[in-house]
């Protein structure tokens, strides 16, 4: 259980670091429908871990009598989270540390059964996802970049573009995660974990298709902007145009025209556009409009997963685009190593069998699909994780520069509302 304990410690260290430099006023943040007050969000992280990894495992009471009333995200509506009588910072940090220490003691005792082990991992991965959300809240609010206790490496900057398409032959394919074998069920790391919406692999036929080797870059998106893409009604879906008008979109969020050129805001700093970095903070509606302008389309999630994991001429499926070995910095830009995206031409060792680059890491990628269940879907222990979002959100794949590498594999499914521009999301395109 050494790796599990290390992950528990690491996740909590990152949560604490993400808010350590913020004032009490900054923790509260403005009341927006796309963010949470950060003092509520980190309290929710502790509550979730205590609920699923402690209380549901050995029946112990909460460290806080008011935890359910304050931090249960299902019972506490988003709109009222700013009005709750939340504890002062010291009590909140004590709660985070107290829950962590209790979980570590439980793991150290050993003897966790399959259900208890799954719940420990669920709490770690839930925290990883909230840490990513806290980072995009910092971006939304214009706070500085966080000082995370993680290694730094920005060697991908300057690698340049990666143009062209990959031709994918198609064929029979098992979409989704394969059922776990007996040896995997006892694994101490994430190999034994699958979210409910990945379950289980089922046969599908894939027609041949052509997909971009890399995500759409800032330079490519700029051409769409400068060709009046945001004012041409014919490029937008009905729902997308309504969002564009309602929110008054004239360019990608965090972009501005400045001194004859274009800049984007990265946390609290304005920088000139980096032409070979992937476009990021792009909504599904914007990605869809760009595709109409470019004479392209978004990949289906079936096509995306096939391009990421299939091996030509075999029925074998890879866990990652490059194979089954875990991610390293030579394969992916993740774990906030570069504190931002890097050029789309970087990291050739991470290519899929068809030559698609950075399908994991750097930037989340929208697919054309509405999020829904696979055949035979059954909710996991966290029953509200997937099912309430079926039918209203769009699927993203692959992870971003700040996503934790331990979280992601080719079958992992993310999902957000199509109007969201705060997520670390971009897209790659397919030929029509």
DSSP class per residue in 254-298: TEEEETTEEEEEETTEEEE--TTSBP-S--HHHHHHHHHHHTEEP
Average pLDDT, the chain: 95
At 182, is the pLDDT very low, low, confident or very high (cuts 50, 70, 90)?
very low
pLDDT of residue 185: 43
Q: CA 388 → CA 74, 348, 364, 376, 391, distances in Å?
A: 11, 38, 21, 16, 8
pLDDT of residue 156: 76
Helix (H) / strand (E) containing 30:
none
The angle subtended at Cα 164 by Cα 159 and Cα 166, nearest 5°, is: 110
Average pLDDT in the 118-141 region?
97
Closest CA to 214 of 427, 401, 432: 427
Q: What torsion do the CA atoms of 125, 131, 135, 140 make, to the nearest 10 degrees?
A: 90
Q: What is the pLDDT of residues 345-392, one digit of tens each?
A: 999 999 999 999 999 999 999 999 999 999 999 999 999 999 999 999
Other beta carbons within 10 angstroms of residue 393's beta carbon come to 20
Average pLDDT in the 62-74 region?
97
Q: Which residues pair with 370 in a beta bridge?
A: 394
Report the sign of the C-alpha dihedral through residues 9, 15, 17, 20, in that order. negative
User: Is the pLDDT score of 285 beyond 50?
Assistant: yes
More confident residue, 34 or 188: 34
Domains and CATH numbers, the chain: 2-141 (1.20.120), 151-432 (3.90.1580.10)
pLDDT of residue 290: 98
Rounded Cα distance between 344 and 341, Å, is 9
pLDDT of residue 186: 44
Q: What is the pLDDT of residues 220-239, one digit of tens each?
A: 999 999 999 999 999 999 99
pTM of the model: 0.96
Q: What is the pLDDT of residues 184-199, one digit of tens each?
A: 444 455 567 999 999 9
């Amino acid at each position: 259980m050494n790796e599990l304990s290390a992950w528990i410690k690491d996740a909590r260290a990152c949560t604490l670091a993400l808010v350590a430099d913020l004032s009490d006023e900054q923790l509260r943040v403005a009341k927006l429908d796309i963010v949470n007050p950060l003092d509520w969000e980190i309290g929710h992280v502790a509550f979730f871990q205590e609920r699923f990894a402690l209380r549901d495992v050995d029946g112990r009471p909460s460290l806080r009598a008011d935890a359910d009333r304050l931090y249960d995200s299902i019972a506490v509506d988003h709109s009222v989270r700013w009005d709750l009588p939340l504890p002062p910072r010291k009590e909140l940090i004590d709660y985070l540390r107290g829950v962590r220490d209790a979980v570590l003691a439980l793991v150290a005792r050993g003897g966790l059964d399959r259900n208890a082990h799954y719940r420990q991992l669920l709490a770690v991965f839930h925290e990883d996802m909230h840490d990513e959300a806290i980072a995009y809240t910092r971006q939304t609010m214009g706070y500085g970049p966080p000082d995370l206790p993680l290694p730094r490496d920005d060697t991908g900057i300057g690698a340049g573009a990666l143009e062209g398409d990959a031709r994918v032959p198609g064929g029979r394919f098992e979409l989704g995660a394969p059922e776990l074998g007996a040896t995997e069920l006892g694994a101490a790391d994430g190999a034994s974990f699958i979210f409910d919406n990945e379950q289980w692999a089922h046969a599908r036929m894939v027609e041949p298709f052509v997909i971009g080797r890399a995500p759409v870059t800032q330079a490519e998106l700029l051409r769409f902007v400068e060709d009046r893409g945001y004012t041409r009604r014919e490029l937008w879906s009905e729902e997308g145009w309504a969002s564009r008008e309602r929110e008054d979109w004239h360019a990608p969020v965090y972009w501005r025209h400045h001194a004859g050129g274009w800049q984007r805001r990265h946390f609290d700093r304005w920088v000139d556009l980096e032409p070979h970095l992937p476009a990021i903070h792009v909504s599904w509606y914007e990605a869809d409009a760009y595709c109409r302008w470019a004479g392209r389309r978004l990949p289906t999630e079936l096509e995306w997963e096939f391009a990421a994991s299939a091996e030509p001429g075999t029925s074998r499926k890879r866990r990652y685009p490059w194979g089954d070995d875990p991610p390293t910095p030579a394969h992916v830009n993740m774990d906030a190593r570069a504190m931002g995206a890097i050029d789309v031409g970087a990291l050739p060792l991470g290519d899929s069998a068809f030559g698609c680059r950075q399908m994991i890491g750097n930037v989340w990628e929208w697919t054309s699909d509405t999020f829904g269940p696979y055949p035979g879907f059954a909710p996991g222990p966290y029953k509200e994780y997937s099912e309430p979002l079926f039918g209203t959100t769009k699927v993203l794949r692959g992870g971003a520069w700040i996503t934790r590498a331990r979280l992601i594999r080719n079958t992992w499914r993310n999902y957000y509302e199509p109007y969201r521009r705060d997520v670390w999301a971009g897209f790659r395109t397919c030929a029509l």
